[in-house]
A and B are shown apart, each in its own frame.
Chain A
Amino acid sequence: MSDAESPTKPTLTPAAQTEDFEPVEVFPETTEMDLRPGSDNCYKCTACDVSCPVAEVDDKFPGPKFQGPEQWRLKRKEDTSVDSSIMSCSNCMRCDDACPSGVPLSQMHNTARGEYVETEMDKLSREYIRNRILSNYGTLAWFGSKVPRLTNAVMGNSLVQQINEKVLGITSERDFPEFATQTFREWWEERGGAATSKERAQEARAERGGPQVRSEDKRVAYFHGCYSNYNTPEVGKAMVRVFESFGYEVVVPKQRCSGTPMFANGMLDDARRAAGINVENFSGLLNEGYDVIASCTSCSMSLRQEYPELFDIDGIEDVSEHTYEALEYLRIHEDLEGAIAEASVSDQAFAYHAPCHGRNQGLDRQAVELFRELDGVTIEDVGDSCSGISGTYGWKSEKYDVSMQIGADMFDHMEHAEGDVGMTECPTCSMQMAHGSGYEIRHPLQLLEEALV
């Protein structure tokens, strides 16, 4: 590997390297994050407000500029509390991508939302309890998956859905995602775990020939997240098989929810606990040559951006710097395009939607650009709008209509696309796509598995 392939972070402060440099402490040490520079960078161009999918359909929502820099400034007055409209932000993070001036909008929103929930929200209120349940989907799913058939039957029961709606404020318009009868982790253990993966990777490396590669260079730790573990294990299996076919040894460390639904609901304490466990379980592997791979773009977003922005945990930056989305990793480290150019699959057409969190990592075009070169595949981007569900957002009774209005453009484009199978990286976008179109939705890794394995 050349340096280009394993780049290190450039030193942005050369002065700090010279020996006679003595840093002067100007401000007292604080554990609070300082959002002032971010606030000062805002020059009120409103590019963020124009990009906000919620503001576009909800006339009452004041938009990201208010939620971020303006609210931060208002809050300098001691008797000012965070406005309740922060709970209408869906944490799609599109404002980050729109800002020409580097204002850390989503970080400001996450912080404000955390403060609002902490200080303003009644912990016995229906909204708080509902949000806590939704944001801890992983725990819920853990119980549910113990008896998947029973859970599916119960959750699909219309009476239960009515109770959810009336008692908890969870919309009865949506069908609860079905639990798989065998979780990804159960499959992984049954298959022989890391030892089996090592063998298969070695076989693949031998078969691929070429120069002998040390196994240290081909190791990945899979962050499967909750959804591909409990609901779509076929995505996790595809990840394992595709990476093994390129000669990678896969390990699957113990893990908690990435924290995405917790950030979006202002449950920062829950998110910090989950992040602590994830960082502890993954950071030790980095020294052994492992990179962290996620198949869900919100999971990779969380590990890459939100963790280091919001939490101060040992090793958190290391994990962040070594985290990749699955296709992204293969594009950088393997000749994925070459492999796809030589492959073919049976004729199929896809309507692809780029999730907002993938968009913000610069991954919004990769699936379309890759698969349009795959023999047998027609793939079309269904536009750059947000799907509208934004994780737990579209599950809330009071947000359901807004969520469907945001998604209207995408549904319309799906209907007009040639394909009648949807494709996206994000589990909740796929729920929304299926809900609005009735299409089956697949993950790019599943098509990659079909083409290459």
Chain B
Amino acid sequence: MTAHFDFLVIGDDEASLCAAACAQKAGAKVAIARSSKSRKKQTAGAMPSVPNFIWRRLDLQDFGLTLDRVSARVTLFETGDPVVTLPGVRDTTAALADAGIGDYTLWQDFVADAAALGDSEFINSASSGAPNDGAASLANMLGDRSALHRASVLSGSCQALLDDCFEDNRLKGHIAAHALAPSGLGGAEPGSAFALTDYFNDDAWRVRATGEGRSLHDILTEVCERAGVTIYAKPLERVSSDGGKFKTAIFDDDEKLKTRVIFFATPDAAADAGAGHCAPGASIRGAGAATATVRVKLSEKIDAPAHDSDAIFQIIDGGDDLQEARDAAISGRLPERLPVEFEIAKNGDIIARSAYFPAVFFEDDEWRGWSSQDRQAAAMHIRERLGSRLPGLANIILKATIDITGAVTADSAFSDCAGVIVQPSRHNAISAAVRLIDRMIVGDS
């Protein structure tokens, strides 16, 4: 007898586990398929915070979990002082004033405006990919002037929104870098304003494990097990659909299960599983690009820029870098001035990533996939960028490893996307994934 499920969640990250546990607890029947790659035992970098409502639903207080907020968002430009913003609005205002940024008085209003903008029901529901009443919500939005204005700003570019608010180019570059770099978007792209407003959500501020106690991933796995989620820890071979309510997922040992919905908590999980093409509105999420993560082991601790080793750092030369890098990535080229995000892990490793690599390369009028030389070049590129902001880095590197996600693979288990739901890239993947799966459960019943 083949097992039947409401949801098959594919992925092994915190967002997937949270979504699975919450859905199971809400009464759905859920299975998790861990991706083929086994999770490497490494010092975790910053991750999305667990919003309070999920904390309560999963009773995470029972597990002695402690998480630290990332201390600051810092942008390191080619020249001049770093620009720093902090979790508190007033602290940020003061920091900006100290840094001589003339627009500091506007920060508070900007944050409030950006948060209010994110409150666009139409765009939020249309971008989630969940079933919803498109016509009615379109009519509602068109009939309400301020809702329509919000939707229009969200559908515009991040750059236009920032130009309307600020004059200081460094501040604009800083905001754009932190808001857009995680999803690899360009500042001038229509729709990039959406990522910007998402970033001003309270939950968007990332957290980091304290290094004591169990990791969030372990705890969530246990929560899933306790809740009764079925976990399949083997590679998925193929997914097929006979057009009925259920899709059949077949594992590499020929075990089968049937599920109503295949759920990806993040676009990265979908890309990993070869289902990147199933995402709706792929362009709003920075599709067409791959993400490279480089971990650098050092022989000694490095001095953190801005004297803050708990911050998230962005490296850009100027505000236009993001769009240029995005343009290069989707045209199949390596960007010249690669935006790189990095942090210093508790054990002193540097974890650097950039979502501005091409998913496929375009060379000599041909599209081609990633080669090992490309991986080397990407790692080199990121190391160079790190070196430009961390003097002396080159001399203390012991080892660097690179991991690429989102690169286009030749064959995909997902020929048909019906019944496949992919949560678009959000600053807080956990919160977004749980909200989406909740909405789908409500929609079902």
* Chains A and B come from one and the same complex: no
